[in-house]
């Protein structure tokens, strides 16, 4: 077998199966940070109505929409104009995105562009083979006070995303208040580093076969049974699996409340010292925090060498509808300092 054939056989050198797409200003800024943190094997895109913002995006493909009516100057908060523009450009956008297995869509809610594109593209991609994962950044409360248009954009986009069901990551800027002494761009970097961990851990889980394997098909069928779900991530020293679970389940920036009997997909990534006992303790700790899951799917990836740190990626299903803008109950999100 020649080198080329070997490579093809091993699936190396093939087109990346994952894409991250920044929608609007905040979504584009977040993708830019993710690229800075390293995104090998992931294709990068930006879609915007704002040409000036779009041209400075360091992504592989830029897509300007609504040029005829908006002249490349942004939507000024008008969600319905952007929705029309998105429908006009829909075929072109989907042609580029639908060939990926997983498409992460990132947007800040409140403006016109991100609030329109996030639910629209998530719902259009749902009709294809691709699995869209919307990541919504919720604005600071002070941005919405006395601004009913912005609030309507946030509420409208969230309602559409909840109706769609499936995986949804909603990260609230309010949860960043503990960093209020830092410059604002640094605060967003902390959040984007957390998003980077979520994206890379999910990509790793799907991309690399594990001892107890979780592939794309099992993720999709788990999601189909789980209602509105979210993704969580934590890492901790192997000696303390309970702390690892606490890290993943309560130290996110995610903003939601859970049903009484959630479903859980748990994937552990560790070294050759990862024992069955550690796995049991993780499952036990999840049970004691969330209650008995109505559906539990387990996966592990064990590297050849021993590792001090174990990573836990969790897909938790059964988020309560209309919960995203309210104070969470079961999980109390605080932020882990990143970097």
In the complex, the residues that contact Mg ion under the rule CB under 5 A are 24-25, 50, 74
- DSSP per residue, 12-44: TTPPPSEEEEEEHHHHHHHHHHHHHH--TTEEE
Contact 329, 257 (CB under 8 A): yes
Scanning 145-232, the segments in alpha helix (DSSP H) are 148-164, 184-207, 216-226
29's contact among ligand GTP, Mg ion, none, with CB below 5 to 8 A by partner kind, is: ligand GTP
Min dist. Cβ of residue 139 to Mg ion (A): 13
229's contact among Mg ion, ligand GTP, none, with CB below 5 to 8 A by partner kind, is: none
26's contact among Mg ion, ligand GTP, none, with CB below 5 to 8 A by partner kind, is: ligand GTP
Binding of ligand GTP by 108 (CB under 6 A): yes
Judged on CB neighbours under 10 Å (0-12, 13-18, 19+), 313 is buried
Cα-Cα-Cα-Cα torsion 243, 330, 153, 114, nearest 10 degrees, comes to 20
Residue 53 vs 191, nearer CB to Mg ion: 53
Q: Which residue, chain included where needed, has tokens 């897509």?
A: 63
> Which positions ≥6 away from 148 have C-beta within 8 Å?
none
Residue 46 vs 314, nearer CB to ligand GTP: 46
Cα–Cα distance, 23 to 302 (Å, whole number): 36
173's contact among ligand GTP, Mg ion, none, with CB below 5 to 8 A by partner kind, is: ligand GTP
Binding of ligand GTP by 188 (CB under 6 A): yes
Min dist. Cβ of residue 188 to ligand GTP (A): 4
36's contact among Mg ion, ligand GTP, none, with CB below 5 to 8 A by partner kind, is: none
Residue 85 vs 244, nearer CB to ligand GTP: 85
Binding of ligand GTP by 172 (CB under 6 A): no
Span 14-73, contacts to ligand GTP by CB under 6 A: 24-26, 29-30, 49-50
Task: Give the contact letters, 199-238, x = binds to ligand GTP (CB under 6 A), - = no.
Answer: ----------------------------------------
Stretch binding ligand GTP (CB under 6 A), from 104-112, 205-213, 226-234, 308-316: 104-112
Q: Which residue, chain included where needed, has tokens 């699936």?
A: 11
270's contact among ligand GTP, Mg ion, none, with CB below 5 to 8 A by partner kind, is: none
The beta-strand segments (E) located in the chain are 18-23, 42-48, 61-64, 102-108, 131-138, 169-172, 229-237, 258-270, 295-302, 309-319
Residue 41 vs 76, nearer CB to ligand GTP: 76
End-to-end CA distance of the chain: 45
Size of residue set near ligand GTP by CB under 6 A = 23
Cα–Cα distance, 63 to 57 (Å, whole number): 11
**Which positions touch ligand GTP (CB under 6 A)?**
24-26, 29-30, 49-50, 74-77, 108, 110-114, 137, 139-140, 143, 173, 188
């Amino acid at each position: 077998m020649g080198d080329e054939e070997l490579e093809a056989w091993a699936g190396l050198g093939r087109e990346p199966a994952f894409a991250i797409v920044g929608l609007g200003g905040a979504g584009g800024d977040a993708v830019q940070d993710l690229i800075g943190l390293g995104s090998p094997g992931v294709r990068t895109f930006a879609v915007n109505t704002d040409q000036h913002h779009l041209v400075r995006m360091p992504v592989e493909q830029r897509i300007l929409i609504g040029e005829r009516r908006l002249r490349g100057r942004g939507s000024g908060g008008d969600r319905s104009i952007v929705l029309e523009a998105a429908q006009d450009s829909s075929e072109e956008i989907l042609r580029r995105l639908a060939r990926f297995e997983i498409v992460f869509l990132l947007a800040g809610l409140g403006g016109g562009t991100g609030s329109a594109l996030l639910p629209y593209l998530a719902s259009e991609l749902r009709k294809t083979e691709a699995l869209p994962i919307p990541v919504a950044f919720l604005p600071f409360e002070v941005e919405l006070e006395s601004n009913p248009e912005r609030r309507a954009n946030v509420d409208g986009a969230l309602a559409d995303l909840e109706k769609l069901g499936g995986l949804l990551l909603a990260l609230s800027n309010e949860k960043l208040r503990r960093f209020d002494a830092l410059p604002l761009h640094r605060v967003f970097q902390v959040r984007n580093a957390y998003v980077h961990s979520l994206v890379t851990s999910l990509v790793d889980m799907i991309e690399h076969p594990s001892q107890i394997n979780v592939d794309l098909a099992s993720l999709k069928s788990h999601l189909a049974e789980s209602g509105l779900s979210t993704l969580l991530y934590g890492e901790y020293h192997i000696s303390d699996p309970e702390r690892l679970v606490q890290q993943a389940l309560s130290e996110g920036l995610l903003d939601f409340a859970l049903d009484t009997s959630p479903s859980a997909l748990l994937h552990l990534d560790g070294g050759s010292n990862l024992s069955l006992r550690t796995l049991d303790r993780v499952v036990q700790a999840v049970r004691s925090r969330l209650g008995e899951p109505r559906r539990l799917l387990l996966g592990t990836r064990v590297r050849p060498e021993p590792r001090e740190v174990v990573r836990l990626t969790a897909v938790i299903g059964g988020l309560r509808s209309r919960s995203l803008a309210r104070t969470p109950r079961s999980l109390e999100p605080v932020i882990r300092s990143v970097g």
